[in-house]
Amino acid sequence: MSGNVFGNVFRISTWGESHGKAVGCVVDGCPSNLELSEKDIQKELDRRKPGGRFASKRMEKDEVELLSGIFEGKTTGAPISMIVYNRDVKSEHYENIRSKPRPGHADLTYWIKYKHRDWRGGGRSSARETVGRVAGGAVAKKILGKYGIKVIGYSVEIGGVSCEIKAESEEDYLKIFKKSERSELRVPERDAEKRIAELIENVRKEGDSLGGIAEIVILNPPAGIGDPVFNRFSALLSFAIMSVPAVRGVEVGSGFKVSRMRGSENNDPIVLRNGEIKLLTNNCGGVLGGITTGTPVVLRVAIKPTPSISKLQRTVDLDRMEEVELRIEGRHDPCIVPRAIPVLEAMCAMALVDQMMIEGIIPRSF
Amino acid sequence: MSGNVFGNVFRISTWGESHGKAVGCVVDGCPSNLELSEKDIQKELDRRKPGGRFASKRMEKDEVELLSGIFEGKTTGAPISMIVYNRDVKSEHYENIRSKPRPGHADLTYWIKYKHRDWRGGGRSSARETVGRVAGGAVAKKILGKYGIKVIGYSVEIGGVSCEIKAESEEDYLKIFKKSERSELRVPERDAEKRIAELIENVRKEGDSLGGIAEIVILNPPAGIGDPVFNRFSALLSFAIMSVPAVRGVEVGSGFKVSRMRGSENNDPIVLRNGEIKLLTNNCGGVLGGITTGTPVVLRVAIKPTPSISKLQRTVDLDRMEEVELRIEGRHDPCIVPRAIPVLEAMCAMALVDQMMIEGIIPRSF
Amino acid sequence: MSGNVFGNVFRISTWGESHGKAVGCVVDGCPSNLELSEKDIQKELDRRKPGGRFASKRMEKDEVELLSGIFEGKTTGAPISMIVYNRDVKSEHYENIRSKPRPGHADLTYWIKYKHRDWRGGGRSSARETVGRVAGGAVAKKILGKYGIKVIGYSVEIGGVSCEIKAESEEDYLKIFKKSERSELRVPERDAEKRIAELIENVRKEGDSLGGIAEIVILNPPAGIGDPVFNRFSALLSFAIMSVPAVRGVEVGSGFKVSRMRGSENNDPIVLRNGEIKLLTNNCGGVLGGITTGTPVVLRVAIKPTPSISKLQRTVDLDRMEEVELRIEGRHDPCIVPRAIPVLEAMCAMALVDQMMIEGIIPRSF
Amino acid sequence: MSGNVFGNVFRISTWGESHGKAVGCVVDGCPSNLELSEKDIQKELDRRKPGGRFASKRMEKDEVELLSGIFEGKTTGAPISMIVYNRDVKSEHYENIRSKPRPGHADLTYWIKYKHRDWRGGGRSSARETVGRVAGGAVAKKILGKYGIKVIGYSVEIGGVSCEIKAESEEDYLKIFKKSERSELRVPERDAEKRIAELIENVRKEGDSLGGIAEIVILNPPAGIGDPVFNRFSALLSFAIMSVPAVRGVEVGSGFKVSRMRGSENNDPIVLRNGEIKLLTNNCGGVLGGITTGTPVVLRVAIKPTPSISKLQRTVDLDRMEEVELRIEGRHDPCIVPRAIPVLEAMCAMALVDQMMIEGIIPRSF
């Protein structure tokens, strides 16, 4: 129940600060006999890594080291401890704002709660904390791979520019994902991508930032997952997603559009296809009554504009208790959506593995 | 972790089926020395009760009986067991659909998961299950009352008709709430209410249903609540809300609108007012970095159109494994938003009390 | 984490006071399609019921009513709510001790913790609370029955009089259990039983009470159960057992005798029998490294003498804050061991089912 | 619920294998503003360290490095990651027994459960895993220190040789503890210590090992701690203690002796001393009805003889599936009791801090 542990049977503990020695995580509950190497983890960390035209210029290779839980190339069932050393720490940008909580950040609330704040780069509330999540998610994805399950994500809207996503089959989703992975912005449509890239460039020059919407999809999910009433699978996923920094909303299937739909439109007709029960549409987003239907689980996630902007902002100096103006220096992403996607995928993958283990679908040993 | 228990320290177990003997709940972890009577519970149950122009015609008085945990008018710290007998059970409407899963309902997924289904009125997946939640929420609200904290809710959009909500202070929110409580549809604006009422009337005649959006607000919340990283207060609330039947989305503060906002717009300036640190705006919806700021916690919730409609629908007869047409008879709400609101409030109230107890803000004994 | 819920996937919430309206429990997480009737529950409640020569004279039939979770004779996967009304409540014995905490009882500590006390018969701290445990345990035993697993218990020592138990096979244990079930004291040896019966008779006349030791055995347990490091199966069982009122100690296998054994004596040799790996002895009590070996799980439990005695005792009147003498009237068991055994069995059965569900050995639906 | 995480609010995740790169732990939920340095941790690790006349000859300095959660000498409320590199790893002793499960060890059950075993020094089931527990316990002890609470432990019996412990006050307990800390065997009585030392010497020469009994005491505990019914403080402690390798039994207060005591002997009279309510004796061991009384919490723990002995033992070669004889080489403790004591203290300290945080006695920030 304390805040830095996630999951019940497949369980992750993350640790580390933005400007501390290292960040890392411990994965407990991973089944034994899973082939796992640092390469599997690194692949996902690389997707989240800073750098590139639209991201922070902090130079972090984010190289992961596996400290335990693997023997002879396979998991043993013991906890997997992973560590990523912080290499490019520059705390000097933060020196002059150490008593000035940045608007839109956790600075103020951490200070209220803990009375002691790690002012260096946001400390624990920095998005750097998500390194541990992505590392844990990489393990979860490896497990899901054994069941042919994939968790994918891409940008569907940034700065108000949206791309039309049409996916009627798992193949469609995979094509969209592949396109998005070739885009630095994870936008699966060339035209939209171009317009968004320009917009980001302009906004960055103004010292401002942009928000957006990501779509996360679980392909080939098992049917029947989710505990009814409280622990609905949709609720478990929402918890996982809303725990990611900068997320301000989540919806499943037709989501907020339901307000403008009739029951007759929103209900997915139940049909037979080759003798099997299927849903004709997927407005339910893969979850009915909190339990998976076996159709793709489709979520959309609202991600706020990066709060770290170089535009002048109003805040209060906590030492002197007076209003001051603040200009945030440093290396910040003008839009966090692309780098948030691997984190969101990781959270959904871990939530699914955890629930599948709770329900006995994934054994303790492969 | 099993599905029918919610919370960690303030913990509720709900039980009972729509067409069984009774529904009820057990509240564990309520502090002792809280004055509590059946009247406190009944008041909230009455807000959720069927009846009225826009709701199901099932005649349930929903009278609650307290079986334990109270002595001499006060809680003792022992579990509070509450029971509501089902009075107006008519299972005959369901006889002819017992093998035909209703589209948009949990029938199909429960059948996949449990292989044994209570076809009478949806059994456990019926919204009647929420009686227990509202009863538990009434206890939580009584506790919050001791701290001057209120959890309120109202409709902000139904069938695409929205009302403009302008609230800049806690008083504004209370006025909106009071207006909404005088409306059968919980719509706080007369004009919007009228248009929505007509719309519902028409849609009902067509044998169809409407969805909508509710806003839930926590007034006067303590600052500093929420465990960072995973157990963010926003994530805990999202879990609580997404666990309610028919909910398809949740957003906090500026929510999905962030996609069209700049950082400079969305960041809430930090200012001094009478020597105290305040936020000039509340785009954060009362939560920053997962921790409460002390400003109102504002959530919006997407609620789908009632899946039970009398229009013809396509489904599959599970016994004969053939496609059939289905017309759902019975007594159903054409729009579930108004009756969902007390349930959403209850969930938020319980989540807040639980977290306050976990963090030691509420003691074990008053 | 609050105190009246036990288990994670197979989860029980108990409620009710000794002199309240009723006691009961809600079982959440029971797999669907289990045949279950009130008779299954009643059978176990009858084993715990007061009455007989050596037990309290409170006349309770302890008739259970099933309120939910069963449909057409089978569990549906929904919570099973069970209620037992209190029939023979006589609070008058307690009137004169309402401000006088009884030594050896929870009166004082409940008063410290909750500041509000249900003085009628101990309220929630009464052993009557265990009715809910036995009801939940009956469901767990029914589940274990499908796997050929039995949880049995019997007295091995009362008032210092012990019986020599020699069991080398599961059959031996079953014989011992059957003998014990024919004894009101659950003593499996006629001679020992006779001596103990006399001792109890004498002690009762003196207004005093006796303690003893029970042995609980899980027969035919699956091998490989238990999470290493913290959630060892032996630790989970110890938690379950130490949660039972009046228990003061628990040991597994050779237990406290290990202090007088060499490693070479205590280690169980690993051998082959008909091509299968076996342990030659069972000093480990069925658990090695926290994980079950497949041999019988053997626990011994120390149960203190009933604290309610009619001998004069020293206590303090909390209203007047002065030392007083106290003589406890009422209907009390001179030795609680025989009636504690079904409760201990129930706790072990529930702990095992819970862990088997967590580990995916028992599915969500039969 | 997975096995390597302990606690709910004050929560520890341990990781690492005996012959892997390192062992460590992550402490989540530690309040902020606690002064904490590597020295605080090292002090406790040194008490558990191998070396000396009666312990394993493995040369480990067990130097801890703090990786996160501390800033400017104080905890920040963020997770505290601690690492201890393994320096003196000699896996060659284990090469020849890689397919031969050692009797009395977890080898066989790990192999059954995980099908993949880390044969090097027992891997995760090695007592080396307890390094992480002691490190976490050091943090817990530092917190308890702020409340004047101490958790102490000492040997009371080894190889059947017991020392008479007479403690009537907290001062008595402290004296006993100080004596025991001067003894390599943690035996607080010179005569007994001498006899035990000789016994161990002889047993070691025979290639055998000894078990014993430790006493763990919580001094100056707060009254009113413990959730009634299931989460009794005595049950929480028993779980914590039984989770330690080699523990086979636990008792609180008069423990197994209750079988030979009358109620009138075992009940602790309630008296007034200087106007305060006190217990005349402490047979309850500081816990009544699962809730602390404020008197010292006294537990006794049975610890089995080290299973690693150099005497010939019978086992089965799992590769060839044939019975073989086994002689265990390597560096093993002839008696694990002295080194187990800091681990037991650590577990009790963490269980107490966790429960105090759950109950709101310890805040999130000092």
Query: Chunked in runs of 10, what are the mean pLDDT values of chain D (366 residues)?
Result: 91 94 97 97 90 73 94 95 89 80 94 85 86 97 98 97 91 97 95 96 94 98 95 98 97 97 97 95 97 98 96 95 90 90 98 97 96
Q: Does B343 fall in a domain?
A: yes
Q: Is C259 a domain residue? A: yes
State the Cα–Cα distance between residues A2 and A61, nearest whole angstrom: 30
Question: C33, C362, C364: which to substitute to probe chain A, counting the most A Cβ within 10 Å?
Answer: C364
Which of C8, C228, C360 lies nearest to residue A360, judging by beta carbons? C360
Distance from the C153 Cα atom to the nearest Cα atom in chain D, whole angstroms: 17
Are the beta carbons of A129 and A20 closer than 8 angstroms? no
Cβ burial of D334 (10 Å; 0-12, 13-18, 19+) is: buried
**Residue from the list D360, D363, D364 with its beta carbon closest to the beta carbon of B357:** D360
Distances (CA, A) of D197 to D152, D332, D348: 22, 16, 27
Which residue on chain C is closest to A361 by alpha carbon?
C360
What Å distances lie between residue B267 and B259, B270, B284, C176, CA to CA?
13, 9, 8, 73
Beta bridge partners of B277: B272
Q: Do residues A134 and A48 lie in contact, with contact meaning Cβ atoms separated by under 8 Å?
A: yes
Residue D36 CA to its chain's centroid (Å): 22
Contact C364 A359 (CB under 8 A): yes
Can you list the residues of chain B whose pLDDT is less than 50?
A: none
Q: Least CA distance to B78: which residue of chain D?
A: D228
A167 min Cα distance to partner chain B (Å): 20
Q: Is-contact B110 B125, C-beta < 8 A?
A: yes
Could you give the 3-state DSSP secondary structure of residue B82? strand
Q: Which residues of A touch C9 (CB under 8 A)?
A: 358
- Cα separation, D11 vs D28, in Å, equals 5
What per-residue confidence (pLDDT) applies to A131? Answer: 95
Bridge partners of D247?
Answer: D303
Q: What is the pLDDT of residue C330?
A: 72
Answer whether D190 touches B (CB < 8 Å).
no
Query: Phi/psi at C168 (nearest 5 deg)?
Result: -115, -5
Question: Does residue D365 sit within a domain?
Answer: no
The separation between CA D262 and the C-alpha centre of its own chain, rounded to angstroms, equals 32
Question: Where is A337: in which H helix or E strand?
Answer: helix A337-358
Inside any domain, residue D363: no
What local confidence, expressed as pLDDT, does residue C219 receive?
98
Q: Output DSSP code: residue C137.
A: H
Q: Tokens for C150?
A: 């039995």
Q: Which conformational region is residue A97 in: left (phi greater than 0), alpha (psi within -120 to 50 degrees), or beta?
A: alpha
Q: D128 to chain C: which residues are within 8 Å by CB?
A: none
Question: For A208, how many CA atoms within 13 A lie in the half-sphere containing its CB?
Answer: 16
**Chain B residues lying within 8 Å of A293, measured CB to CB:** 108-109, 112
Q: Count the residues in chain A.
A: 366
Residue A1 has pLDDT above 70, yes or no: no
CA-closest candidate to residue D81, choices D22, D122, D20, D141: D22
Residue C1 has pLDDT above 70, yes or no: no
Average pLDDT score over chain C: 94
Q: Which residue of C has its CA nearest to B33?
A: C116
Please list every residue in chain A whose beta carbon sits closer than 8 Å to the beta carbon of residue C30: none
Nearest to C21 among B15, B17, B67 (CB): B67
The HSE-up count of residue A13 (CA atoms within 13 Å, CB side) is 33
CA distance C127 to C332: 11
Q: Is C106 a residue whose pLDDT tops 70?
A: yes
Tokens of B197: 């009422």
Which residues are bridge partners to A268 per DSSP? none
Q: From the list A2, A16, A67, which residue is nearest D28 (CB)?
A: A2
Cβ–Cβ of D9/B357 closer than 8 Å? no
Distance in Å, alpha carbon of B69 to nearest chain D alpha carbon? 13
3-state secondary structure of D133: helix
Chain D contact set for B358 (CB, 8 A): 9, 358
Q: What is the predicted ipTM? A: 0.96
Q: Can you read off the two tokens belonging to residue B7?
A: 């919370």
In this structure, the strands spanning C80-85 and A22-28 are unpaired
What phi-psi label fits residue B319: left (phi over 0), alpha (psi between -120 and 50 degrees) or beta?
Answer: alpha
Dist CA C328 CA C83 (whole Å): 29
Question: Between chain C and chain D, how many beta carbons pairs sit less than 8 Å apart?
Answer: 372
Report pLDDT digits (tens) over A82-121.
999 998 777 777 777 889 999 999 999 999 999 887 777 7
Closest listed residue to residue C91, CA positions, set C290, C323, C329: C329
Chain A CB contacts of D124 under 8 Å are: 76-79
- Percentage of chain A modeled with pLDDT above 70: 99
Q: Which helix (H) or strand (E) holds C254?
A: none
Higher pLDDT, D2 or C189: C189
Residues B244, B130: Cα–Cα separation, whole Å: 8
Contacts of C110 in chain B (CB under 8 A): 77
Least confident of B109-118, B262-271, C201-210, C312-321: B109-118
Q: Are strands C150-158 and C161-162 parallel, antiparallel or unpaired?
A: antiparallel
The answer to whether D292 contacts C109, with C-beta atoms less than 8 Å apart, is: yes
Verify whether the Cβ–Cβ distance B358 to D359 is below 8 Å: no
User: What amino acid is encoded at B83 in this protein?
Assistant: I
* Distance (Å) from the alpha carbon of C19 to chain B's nearest alpha carbon: 10
| Rounded mean pLDDT, C102-130 | 88
Contact partners of B by the rule of 3+ C-beta pairs under 8 A? A, C, D
Question: Does some domain include residue D364?
Answer: no
Closest chain C CA to residue D234: C242
Q: Does B358 touch chain D (CB under 8 A)?
A: yes
- The count of domains in chain D is 1
Query: In chain A, what residues touch B322 (CB-CB under 8 Å)?
Result: 272
Token pair of A297, please?
């689980």
In a domain, C37, yes or no: yes
For residue B84, what are the β-bridge partners? B23, B64
Least Cα separation, residue C111 to chain A (angstroms): 28
What pLDDT is stored for residue A323 in this prediction?
96
- Separation in Å, CA of D224 to nearest CA in chain C: 5
**Residue B143: closest CA among B222, B214, B215, B68:** B222
Question: CB–CB of B248 and A256 under 8 A?
Answer: yes
Instruction: Tell me the mean pLDDT in the region C131-139.
Output: 97
- Specify whether the CB–CB gap between D1 and B1 falls below 8 A: yes
CATH code of the domain in which B225 resides = 3.60.150.10
Place of tokens 């398809």: B248
Token pair of B146 as six digits: 């001791």
Query: If you measure CA to CA, which chain A residue comes closest to B242?
Result: A235
- Report if pTM > 0.80: yes
Residues B356, B359, B361, CA angle at the centre, nearest 5°? 55
Name the helix (H) or strand (E) containing B57: none
Closest-CA residue of chain D to B358 = D358
Distance in angstroms (rounded) separating the CA atoms of residues D208 and B334 = 78
- Residues in chain D within 8 Å Cβ distance of A118: 71, 76, 78
Full residue range of the structural domain in which residue B84 is found: 5-358
Tell me which residues of chain A, numbers 61 to 120, contact chain C at a CB-CB cutoff of 8 Å. 77-78
C291 part of contact set with chain D, CB < 8 Å: yes
Output the 3-class SS for C114-125: HCCCCCHHHHHH
- Beta carbons within 10 angstroms of residue C272's beta carbon: 15
* Chain C residues close to B123, C-beta within 8 Å: 71, 76, 78
Maximum alpha-carbon separation in chain B: 73
Q: Which residues 26-55 in chain D show a CB within 8 A of chain A?
A: 26, 28-29, 32-33
- Taking only the tens place, the pLDDT of each residue in C276-298 is 999 999 999 999 999 999 999 99
Instruction: For residue C146, name the pLDDT band (cuts at 50, 70, 90).
Output: very high
User: Cβ of D290 and C243 within 8 Å?
Assistant: yes
- Look at residue A30 and tell me whether its pLDDT is greater than 90: yes
Task: Say whether residue D353 is in contact with chain B using an 8 A CB cutoff.
Answer: no
Asked if D4 and A71 come within 8 Å (Cβ–Cβ), the reply is no
The amino acid at D222: P
- Picking from D8, D77, D360, the nearest residue to B360 by CB comes out as D360
Q: What is the pLDDT of residue C87?
A: 85
Predicted local distance difference test score (pLDDT) of residue A228: 84
Contact D11 A32 (CB under 8 A): no
Nearest residue in chain A measured CA to CA from C354: A358
Q: What's at A68, amino acid-wise? A: S
Nearest CA in chain A to B285: A248
The string over B45-81, giving b where at least 16 C-beta atoms fall within 10 Å of a residue's C-beta and e elsewhere, is bebbbbbeebbbebebebebebbbbbbeebbbbbbbb
Q: How far is B71 from chain C (nearest CA, A)?
A: 7
pLDDT at A124: 86
Return the pLDDT at D201. 94
* Both structure tokens of D42: 């090292």
Average pLDDT over residues A129-146: 97
The per-residue pLDDT for D60 is 76
Q: What is the pLDDT of residue A121?
A: 75
Check A364 against C364: CB less than 8 A apart. Answer: no
Inter-residue contact A348 to A218 (CB < 8 Å): yes
Q: Is B366 a domain residue?
A: no
Q: Which structure tokens are listed for D286?
A: 């500081």
Q: Is D131's Cβ below 8 Å from some Cβ in C? A: no
Shortest CA gap B99–chain A (Å) = 13
At residue B1, the pLDDT reads 66
State whether B123 and C13 contact (CB < 8 Å).
no
List chain B residues with CB under 8 Å of C74.
Answer: 116
Distance CA D17, CA D127 (A): 9
Residue C365, in any domain of the structure: no
Choose the closest CB to A15 out of D5, D77, D81: D81
Token pair of C333, please? Answer: 């068991």
Check B259 against A105: CB less than 8 A apart. Answer: no
